[in-house]
């Protein structure tokens, strides 16, 4: 008995039921009523079926709503390029239609690696439980010598961050090659006397990335950052499935706006940045927060977190990292919306602190401690100068 992948689209047509039938046939066997009976019997296991049609509005002779199609799971191999081509390839060019959601049968989902570490694994590596984690970003990095980056790294560690990540645009590192950065940063981590993850940006031609990842790990890398969409979901899946890749994988959402931003086109952010990133193997997933400089719709941001932290019966849960424009005054919002299992991630909110990056980190740690204890930031700032200065500069939530 065939199992089905349920795919939901948002679209518009004169008749949504007819459009749904057209998609179910056209995206699977191509045609149906014109086929001889023998061919219908042969192709029946591959034929898509309309699951549901929900008309939300009728206006000017058009029907607006969502349609769900059941695709036989044996129509696609278990990799995201094949999956997306199967359910949205040519359809993505068919006018106003947006891919909203994909639900997988467990047998199909098990063929994807999912997170190797997940939330519990990352917390175990850091030895931190019971609070949101804190991550900082290198700002700036391009063109700087290793000595300057070492100074930045040490200041961030001094401030109490749990993780530091490369900027996603750090490709040209000739003045601070990866192996030299790893050697210098790991020395600082040892001197700090506590576990700290450094997410090194994985770069280069895509066919070299597996080898580059292993090279990085051999040279002391304990976390890897990947710009998943420019490089492709498949390389994330191959990294996660490789037994020699023994560190957490962090997914950056670079280029995601080109997919999810339009109301009636593209791929919805909870699916793109939540469901698919997790299935492909990301342990830590960055995406726009609902508050910052490139804010994502709050409902969608919460839905992304739900997709990567909910129990799907197959994969470990991943860490959500709502990012961009985060400063200490926003920590209560993050905690109230995303709870304890979230990573607070900041660039300018740490490096732009009036007291420098170390005080930027201290301000965030004070804000995190305050929300965990149920203390207001204003009250916590009375006994914490870095937090007081951060609130003076950026304000509260």
Kindly tell me the burial class for residue 232, based on how many C-beta atoms sit within 10 Å of its own C-beta (0-12, 13-18, 19 or more): middle
- Radius of gyration of the chain from its Cα atoms, rounded to whole angstroms: 23
- Own/partner long-range contacts of 177-186 (Cβ < 8 Å, ≥24 apart): 178/216, 178/219, 178/221, 179/215, 179/219, 180/146, 181/146, 181/149, 182/216, 182/219, 182/220, 182/221, 183/219, 183/220, 184/146, 184/149, 184/150, 184/153, 185/150, 185/153, 186/220
* Measured distance CA(14)–CA(19) in Å, rounded: 8
Tell me how far CA of residue 222 lies from CA of 112, 198, 247, 282, in angstroms: 23, 6, 5, 14
CA 6, 91, 233, 308 dihedral sign is negative
Q: Are 245 and 270 in contact (CB under 8 A)?
A: no
Q: Any idea which residue has 């009636």 for tokens?
A: 264
Take residue 139 and report the two structure tokens written for it. 């700002």
The beta-strand segments (E) located in 271-376 are: 284-288, 319-323, 343-346
Q: Any idea which residue has 């390389």 for tokens?
A: 235
* Measured distance CA(179)–CA(193) in Å, rounded: 21
* Measured distance CA(274)–CA(359) in Å, rounded: 33
Residues designated catalytic: 90
* Measured distance CA(21)–CA(10) in Å, rounded: 15
Cβ-proximal residues to 231 (8 Å cutoff; 6+ apart), any chain:
206, 209
* Measured distance CA(387)–CA(327) in Å, rounded: 10
Taking alpha carbons only, the member of 59, 72, 62, 60 closest to residue 18 is 62
* Measured distance CA(347)–CA(361) in Å, rounded: 10
């Amino acid at each position: 008995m065939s199992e089905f992948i349920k795919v939901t689209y948002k679209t518009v047509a004169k008749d949504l039921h007819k459009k749904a039938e057209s998609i179910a046939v056209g995206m699977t066997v191509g045609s149906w009523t014109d086929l001889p009976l023998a061919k219908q019997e042969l192709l029946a296991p591959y034929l898509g079926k309309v699951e549901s049609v929900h008309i939300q509005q009728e206006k000017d002779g058009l029907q607006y709503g969502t349609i769900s199609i059941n695709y036989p799971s044996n129509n696609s191999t278990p990799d995201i390029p094949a999956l997306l081509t199967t359910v949205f390839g040519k359809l993505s060019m068919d006018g106003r239609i947006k891919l909203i959601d994909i639900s997988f049968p467990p047998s199909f989902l098990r063929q994807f690696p999912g997170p190797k570490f997940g939330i519990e694994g990352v917390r175990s590596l850091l030895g931190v439980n019971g609070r949101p984690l804190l991550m900082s970003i290198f700002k700036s990095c391009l063109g700087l010598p290793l000595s300057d980056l070492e100074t930045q790294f040490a200041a961030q560690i001094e401030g109490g961050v749990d993780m530091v990540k490369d900027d996603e645009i750090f490709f040209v590192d000739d003045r601070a090659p990866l192996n030299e950065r790893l050697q210098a940063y790991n020395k600082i981590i040892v001197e700090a006397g506590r576990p700290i993850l450094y997410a090194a940006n994985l770069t280069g031609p895509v066919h070299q990335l597996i080898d580059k990842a292993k090279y990085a790990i051999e040279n002391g890398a304990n976390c890897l950052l990947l710009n998943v969409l420019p490089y492709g979901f498949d390389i994330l899946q191959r990294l996660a499935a490789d037994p020699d890749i023994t560190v957490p994988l962090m997914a950056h959402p670079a280029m995601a706006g080109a997919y999810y931003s339009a109301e009636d086109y593209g791929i919805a952010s909870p699916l793109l940045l939540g469901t698919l990133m997790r299935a492909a193997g990301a342990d830590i997933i960055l995406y726009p927060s609902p508050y910052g400089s490139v804010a994502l719709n709050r409902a969608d941001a919460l839905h992304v977190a739900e997709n990567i932290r909910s129990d799907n019966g197959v994969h470990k849960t991943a860490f959500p990292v709502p990012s961009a424009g985060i400063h200490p005054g926003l920590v209560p919002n993050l905690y109230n919306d995303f709870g304890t299992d979230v990573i607070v991630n900041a660039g300018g909110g740490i490096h732009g602190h009036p007291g420098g990056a170390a005080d930027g980190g201290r301000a965030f740690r004070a804000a995190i401690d305050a929300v965990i204890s149920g203390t207001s930031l204003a009250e916590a700032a009375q006994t914490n100068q870095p937090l007081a200065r951060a609130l003076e500069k950026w304000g509260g939530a």
